[in-house]
Amino acid sequence: MPLIDNLQFSNWSPKIFEQLNAGGVHAVHATIVYHENFREMVARVEEWNLWFEQFPELIFMGRNGEDVRRAEAENKTAIFFGFQNPSPIEDDIGLVEVCHTLGARFMQLTYNNQSLLATGCYEDVDSGVTRFGKQVIAEMNRVGLVIDMSHSAERSTLEAIEISERPIAITHANPAWWHPALRNKSHEVLTELTQAGGMLGFSLYPHHLAESSQCTLESFCEMVAEAASRYGIENLGIGSDLCQDQPDSVVTWMRNGRWTKVMDYGEGSASAPGFPDQPSWFGDSRDFKNIAAGLLAVGFSQADADAVMGNNWLRFYDESFGPQQ
């Protein structure tokens, strides 16, 4: 069965590519940019192209579900590009297709702030999807670039689910009823998301976990079981939000971009400004076996565990990355 992690932003290196291989991860949705503009995003694509050329026995660029099956057959990892902010399309709707051609498969309509498209979850006022946002959603639907609302505010997220003609994704977040963090999602959002065929990727980022870095595997897996009972098993997967080997300067870039001269700590704080420690049972890509075992331990059937660990994302990839029918 395929193993898919539908969000990582690690400090990519041969070591991490080998860990993905050792962990049997067949596909990763890799964040390649936060606040980069189009040209800066292209520079990130160039870096990935060089890695693909240098490490062909470990990784290759993923473009569709078939590439996940190829990765499984060849014991490699297919890398699917994603943006956590729509900054690479600037103010130009034609860049949506260009970005898709270059490999982008997920794009958040916002990071934490208001974007040209919608409102991020840290804004005081959530004004919903903008005029440009509606046009971009239609264009993303047309070409097969998935709308990701992981960092977006409640109203914007509900509107995006409603406006989009194709299922959307919340690639990396958890239910607020388990851990009421600003970044976690309301029951209403998760109900609307999944009823429209959209996917939730459960996050392993400590700020999204009950008890943070101390969260137990059992607690996490019981949360997944409760989500399956509320929303059905079909629309749930993993989006670990693993930020492995990153210096703290990177979380500062994620939170502050170029938009503020005053430090914004995001989900952290002045006393804990850096990346939080990972829970003991999920330190890197070799630890997905712990989660798979944990799901079985809390009563999942093998088929349901396989669905969460990869089969659901694979179905979603098959249906989402090509042109709109």
Of these, 40, 57, 74, 92, which contacts a copy of itself (CB under 8 A)? 92
- Supply the minimum distance, in Å, between the C-beta of residue 148 and a copy of itself: 22
Whole-number Å distance between alpha carbons of 189 and 248: 31
Sign, CA dihedral 80-89-44-251, equals negative
How far out from the chain centre does Cα 37 lie?
20
Instruction: From 39-47, 80-88, 187-195, 236-244, give the range in contact with a copy of itself by CB under 8 A.
Output: 39-47
By CB under 8 A, what part of segment 97-156 binds a copy of itself?
A: 97-98, 101-103
Q: Output 55 or 265, the one with its CB closest to a copy of itself.
A: 55
Contact 298, 218 (CB under 8 A): yes
- The reply to whether 47 sits near a copy of itself by the rule CB under 8 A is yes
- Tell me how far apart the 2 most distant CA atoms of the chain are, in Å: 51
We find the least distance from the C-beta atom of residue 175 to a copy of itself, in angstroms, to be: 38
Residues 50-69 contacting a copy of itself, CB under 8 A: 50
42 part of the interface to a copy of itself, by CB under 8 A: yes
What's the closest the beta carbon of residue 95 comes to a copy of itself, in angstroms? 7
How many chain residues interact with a copy of itself (CB under 8 A)? Answer: 17
Minimum Å gap between C-beta 61 and a copy of itself is 9
| For a copy of itself, the closer CB: 60 or 282 | 60
45 binds a copy of itself (CB under 8 A): yes
CB of 61 or CB of 298, closer to a copy of itself: 61
Using rule CB under 8 A, residue 46 touches a copy of itself = yes
CB of 325 to a copy of itself, least distance (A): 14
Instruction: State which of residues 7, 95, 153, 251 lies at the interface with a copy of itself (CB under 8 A).
Output: 95
Q: Which one of the spans 47-55, 234-242, 257-265, 290-298 is the region binding a copy of itself (CB under 8 A)?
A: 47-55
Q: Which residues bind a copy of itself (CB under 8 A)?
A: 38-39, 42-43, 45-47, 49-50, 92, 94-95, 97-98, 101-103
